[in-house]
Structure 1
């Protein structure tokens, strides 16, 4: 088992368990493993579950929802999807996942963000001439730059900027060109641009408001809880959090968590 680090104490079983997606529940852009799928179904029988990540809605549906198999409507009603870093929020309405809110960017904001990302990446020598798929993506509520392309293999992505220095240089170059928007280093090769203040902390706060579950009663798993990482806003908000290194590490941690949730199930049945 890969060592992990609980970054905030959590003395009682959580009422909601939240996760980052890529490199936490699944390898980047890949479907969740059957082991994770089974654990998510087990969680959904006893607690609410949330997934909050920079990926778009289509990725959530293919990577997670399509893999949950026989999860029923009651289980799916406990699943909260917050794609594009929580700038969108979807809940199951009995038939499908429907939007609760979406903080979409205006056409002018999108154009400015796309232009700034391309021009600054070219100026810094970070524009890949032969990418795996599109480098720039309009996700409605988020503009995403993927240095090697959206379909780049995981080994290439992890080798591109292991120190994070390239992403930070690009972020610092783009941010002054899009005042009113927030520019963040995302995954291993990505830069995400959203409305200012609309990040994972905003998503988790909105989740607490919509569910009535306090942040202190949640537990979050993420692979980028380090300061400057895209999961750090959740930790800074005060949500009890556990740092993981990959989906296998998360699965090992869930093997430890799941038995502790049985009292929660018994309490609900009383």
Structure 2
């Protein structure tokens, strides 16, 4: 199968799209917000409005705490929590609002075993050093054990956004590291993540798994999910969602995402 091409955000018939979709799913970093930063208030408001019109999912490579601080803390009580489907660490977790308990509830979480986590961490450090991607000066933790996912961040978890975006603009460093680690870890899934990261999780669990699981939960078909993300090329961590058959929209940052949301809201409200 050849390379699949998502729709450009400004080349879409939003009326036709709104008529055929039954859910909207978003990547987080680079799509709803800049890396590890809270959503800006205008996009948070638009996102909250969308949740009153259609089921909305956030499928992020980041851990739950980041989804909480970047998204939930910004939308607050303005969103329809019953329509939110949160899938941190690339869909290895699924979190829903429990109205009776008044809190968020983890429905499932696919954990790596301690041995798998140790092997993944050892491979990441060894291969990053061999490839010259082990930076000596970093902002915070390089390798994070998220339980269901191990994430390598070349510049550290707290690196400034501008430094992250400048480190590997063509994705070649992340691609080389992911390929090297995949050879070490044939029973796990290794893929390039955000602008400086490589993620390792259980095999077969990626954003394709996440959108298929979401479709099953909602009782709809995958093509009825609109997926919006910024890394839609074959090396990007959003590409599995494209391959799964979603109605995929490519954006270059939150400024374009808010345009998508507002146009979808306009047509869905009709």
Q: Same fold (TM over 0.5)?
A: yes
Contact kept, 8 Å, 1:6 with 1:241, in 2: the verdict is: no
Give per-residue Cα distances to partners, 1:5-34, cap 9 Å, x unaligned: 669983725221110000000010000011
Within-5 A mapping of 1:1-270: 4=9, 10=17, 12-71=19-78, 75-94=80-99, 95-263=102-270
SS in 2 for 1:26: coil
Contact kept, 8 Å, 1:137 with 1:143, in 2: the verdict is: yes
Cα 1:205–1:161, aligned 2, differ >3 Å: closer, same or farther? same
Contact kept, 8 Å, 2:53 with 2:265, in 1: the verdict is: no
Structure 1 residue 210, shift from structure 2 partner? 1.3
Contact kept, 8 Å, 1:7 with 1:240, in 2: the verdict is: no
SS in 2 for 1:97: strand
Match of 1:266 in 2: none
Contact kept, 8 Å, 1:182 with 1:195, in 2: the verdict is: yes
Contact kept, 8 Å, 1:5 with 1:242, in 2: the verdict is: no
Q: Which runs of 5+ in 2 are unaligned?
A: 1-7
- CA–CA distance in 1 between the matches of 2:12 and 2:117? 35
TM-score under structure 2 length normalisation: 0.92
- CA–CA distance in 2 between the matches of 1:245 and 1:153? 18
Q: Which runs of 5+ in 1 are unaligned?
A: 264-270
Give per-residue Cα distances to partners, 1:32-85, cap 9 Å, x unaligned: 01111111111111111000010000000000111112236xx10110000000
TM-score under structure 1 length normalisation: 0.92
- CA–CA distance in 1 between the matches of 2:163 and 2:12? 29
- CA–CA distance in 1 between the matches of 2:12 and 2:95? 28
Cα 1:237–1:7, aligned 2, differ >3 Å: closer, same or farther? farther
- CA–CA distance in 2 between the matches of 1:217 and 1:27? 27
